[in-house]
Chains A and B, each alone.
Chain A
Amino acid sequence: MSLRIVVCVKYVPDATGDRKFADDLTVDRDDVDGLLSELDEYAVEQALQIAEEADDAEVTVLTVGPEDAKDALRKALSMGADKAVHVEDDDLHGTDVMGTSLVLAKAIEKTGYDVVIAGMASTDGTMGVLPAILAERLGVPQVTLLSEVKIEGGPNGIVTGRRDGDTASEQLEASLPAVVSVTDQSGEARYPSFKGIMAAKKKPVESLELDDLDIDADEVGLAGAWTAVDSAAERPARTAGTIVKDEGEGGKQLAEFLASQKFI
């Protein structure tokens, strides 16, 4: 039996661009280029490695996002994923993490899965909680924030991994199905090859709407959100600091500054 791997990938505004909020306090997607969240490339990479190790496996990449989010799916397909699912619906605009996780959970159940792999956090919302919520919603073990991951025994097998926490490094084990998330310590993501990019154009991308997932419009979107953003203000530019060139006394001058600020 084939090991079914679903990778959740998010389409995000480029972190090196001028990211900002739109008038309705959602992310402004018009003025900044979007891309596959860099931290999700690590999830795609681990999925591909697990698939390569397994006798028989299929990697599906899944995103919830606007039309342009197809770019993120294409990138993942060109890295080597087999097929893609895109949940796209006008009513999704402004969805918070509870709505997003609901949509992802329903889409994952519809697609069928033995393991779900996600990134450690998106590079825009950066909440870092979605994988845990997915595990809760799907009712399967969470094996999250792994810097090393391994799956053995196919669809009825086990997942093991290492989680490097604040106070300890832990070795984890769970049986499939499970939700996994991986950190950027899990291994560099491969670059798409020319062949991969060409092949990606022919790979299937399935589009789903809320109706297909039996989700009502009022369960998601800005109106259905369980959180509300009241204001977003650009941080005032820092007042220009003092910059000195070291002419041999740089360390002493810096000590003088630190003393003036009462740090020493």
Chain B
Amino acid sequence: MAEILVYVDHVDGAVRKPTLELLTLARRIGEPVAVALGNGAADTAAVLAEHGAVKVLTADAPEFTEYLVVPKVDALQAAYESVSPAAVLVPSSAEGKEIAARLAVRIGSGIITDAVDLEAGDEGPVATQSAFAASFTTKSRVSKGTPVITVKPNSAPVEAAPAAGAVEALAVSFGALATGTKVTARTPRESTGRPELTEAAIVVSGGRGVNGAENFGIIEALADSLGAAVGASRAAVDAGWYPHSNQVGQTGKSVSPQLYIASGISGAIQHRAGMQTSKTIVAINKDAEAPIFDLVDYGVVGDLFDVVPQLTEEVKSRKG
């Protein structure tokens, strides 16, 4: 069966969920061979094997952390050359997309970004993309070279499918461009203990209607009662009420959870671009005319300062 290269997104050996989803998709079109780079790369093997990786190619070198993007492209290219895969799948993070794109140029292949689904087709993998703020669904293919496809989080279920997961060291020689952009300092993001925004099954977001950083506590309380991640509109972020890393929308994170709860958010097109593919959408807004209500499965026209705390209490008491 054809081998499918899967780029592993991990933090010090802890594999992030979108990569496990990629393994599910990769198994639809061939046999997954995972590529894990950087600190802790070899530690990823067990979980990757559990989810279907027949082989795990690993490499670690200071270049991966000291320079931006290109060393990882060199490594992925080395993996590509050693495996000759039928497709290359990469998670759609900002960095993942850049790595995939540069690889595609080098190997003379087309690229599809932000796929939300993937199937085997007569002429190679067929990717589903969602366009124009999710108002259209397209099916596309790479028609030249080895398909390079980046896939959004929450696009496939995580499925156990034990495979060999044999670890092999990947030999990488870095090219002249690898050391072009130096990372001179790095400040890791502090963990809040809440689920990762793009991976969460439930996202609770607040907007301008939350009216102040101090009031985000009621959004967080609701999120915690549901085990959810917290999101924010750009208006709330720009006002300094919540960190930019929690922004949902076109220029923030794109989320696709089972449940999205928007409080005090009007539903501007740029916000919708990042949440419209959520399975169930709920909104609380005091303006019955707010465009967000066009999207909802359930909406409450009311003051979020009344509705949200009451909902939180109710969730807590039902969960016991």
Bitwise interface map of B from 294 to 317 toward A, beta carbon under 8 Å scored 1, else 0: 111111111100111111111100
A163-B180 Cα distance, complex, nearest whole Å: 16
Contacts of A229 in B (CB 8 A): 138-140
A99-B274 Cα distance, complex, nearest whole Å: 27
Asked if A195 is at the interface (CB within 8 A of a chain B CB), the reply is no
Asked if A206 is at the interface (CB within 8 A of a chain B CB), the reply is no
Contacts of A111 in B (CB 8 A): none
Known: A129-B111, A132-B69, A140-B180. A233 touches B300 (CB 8 A): no
| A234 engages B245 (CB within 8 Å) | no
Asked if B28 is at the interface (CB within 8 A of a chain A CB), the reply is no
A250-B304 Cα distance, complex, nearest whole Å: 10
Asked if A54 is at the interface (CB within 8 A of a chain B CB), the reply is no
B109's closest neighbor in chain A, by CB?
A226
Contacts of B258 in A (CB 8 A): 263
| B309 engages A251 (CB within 8 Å) | yes
B136 touches which of A21, A143, A241, A261 (Cβ 8 Å): A21
Asked if A19 is at the interface (CB within 8 A of a chain B CB), the reply is yes
A254-B181 Cα distance, complex, nearest whole Å: 50
Bitwise interface map of B from 94 to 118 toward A, beta carbon under 8 Å scored 1, else 0: 1101101110111001111110000
Nearest Cβ on chain A to B101's Cβ, whole angstroms = 4
Residues 192-221 of B contacting A (Cβ, < 8 Å) = 202
A147-B126 Cα distance, complex, nearest whole Å: 35
Contacts of A212 in B (CB 8 A): none
B138's closest neighbor in chain A, by CB?
A232
| B302 engages A171 (CB within 8 Å) | no
| A250 engages B310 (CB within 8 Å) | yes
Asked if B280 is at the interface (CB within 8 A of a chain A CB), the reply is yes
Nearest Cβ on chain A to B73's Cβ, whole angstroms = 8
Asked if A255 is at the interface (CB within 8 A of a chain B CB), the reply is yes
Nearest Cβ on chain A to B300's Cβ, whole angstroms = 4
Asked if B70 is at the interface (CB within 8 A of a chain A CB), the reply is yes
Residues 3-34 of A contacting B (Cβ, < 8 Å) = 15-16, 19-21, 25
- Which secondary structure dominates where chain B touches chain A? mixed
Complex interface: stretch among B39-47, B56-64, B162-170, B183-191: B183-191
| A242 engages B97 (CB within 8 Å) | no
| B306 engages A183 (CB within 8 Å) | no
Asked if A1 is at the interface (CB within 8 A of a chain B CB), the reply is no
A14-B282 Cα distance, complex, nearest whole Å: 27
Residues 225-255 of B contacting A (Cβ, < 8 Å) = 226, 244-245, 250-251
Residues 138-171 of A contacting B (Cβ, < 8 Å) = 139-145, 147, 160, 163-171
Known: A226-B145, A227-B140. A251 touches B134 (CB 8 A): no
| B299 engages A241 (CB within 8 Å) | yes
| B280 engages A232 (CB within 8 Å) | no
Interface size on A, residues (CB 8 A): 82
A165-B141 Cα distance, complex, nearest whole Å: 29
Asked if B173 is at the interface (CB within 8 A of a chain A CB), the reply is no
| B105 engages A233 (CB within 8 Å) | no
A255-B202 Cα distance, complex, nearest whole Å: 14
A120-B98 Cα distance, complex, nearest whole Å: 11
B296 touches which of A144, A171, A243 (Cβ 8 Å): A243
| A254 engages B139 (CB within 8 Å) | no
Asked if A246 is at the interface (CB within 8 A of a chain B CB), the reply is yes
| B112 engages A142 (CB within 8 Å) | no
Known: A244-B300, A261-B280. A98 touches B111 (CB 8 A): yes
| B182 engages A172 (CB within 8 Å) | yes
Contacts of B302 in A (CB 8 A): 245-246, 250
| A264 engages B187 (CB within 8 Å) | no
Asked if A202 is at the interface (CB within 8 A of a chain B CB), the reply is no
Asked if B84 is at the interface (CB within 8 A of a chain A CB), the reply is no
A264-B112 Cα distance, complex, nearest whole Å: 37
| B186 engages A230 (CB within 8 Å) | no
Asked if A185 is at the interface (CB within 8 A of a chain B CB), the reply is yes
Nearest Cβ on chain A to B124's Cβ, whole angstroms = 10
Asked if B83 is at the interface (CB within 8 A of a chain A CB), the reply is no
| B133 engages A254 (CB within 8 Å) | no
A234 touches which of B93, B135, B145, B186 (Cβ 8 Å): B135
Asked if B259 is at the interface (CB within 8 A of a chain A CB), the reply is yes
Known: A127-B113, A241-B296. A254 touches B94 (CB 8 A): no
Asked if A35 is at the interface (CB within 8 A of a chain B CB), the reply is no
Asked if A201 is at the interface (CB within 8 A of a chain B CB), the reply is no
Asked if B11 is at the interface (CB within 8 A of a chain A CB), the reply is yes
A174-B66 Cα distance, complex, nearest whole Å: 12
A203-B226 Cα distance, complex, nearest whole Å: 57
Q: Lowest 6 A-B CB distances belong to which pairs?
A: A251-B310, A246-B302, A226-B110, A141-B180, A255-B314, A129-B101
B interface with A by C-beta (< 8 Å): 11, 68-70, 73, 93-95, 97-98, 100-102, 104-106, 109-114, 126, 130-145, 177, 180-189, 202, 226, 244-245, 250-251, 258-259, 269-270, 273, 280-282, 284, 288, 293-303, 306-315, 318-319
Q: Report 15 cross-chain contacts, Cβ distance below 8 Å, ordered by A residue.
A: A21-B138, A98-B110, A126-B273, A129-B111, A130-B101, A136-B102, A136-B106, A170-B185, A229-B139, A232-B138, A235-B135, A238-B297, A246-B301, A246-B306, A252-B310
Can you add 9 more A-B contacts, CB < 8 Å, to A226-B109, A235-B134? Answer: A127-B97, A128-B94, A129-B111, A135-B102, A250-B307, A251-B307, A253-B300, A255-B311, A261-B259
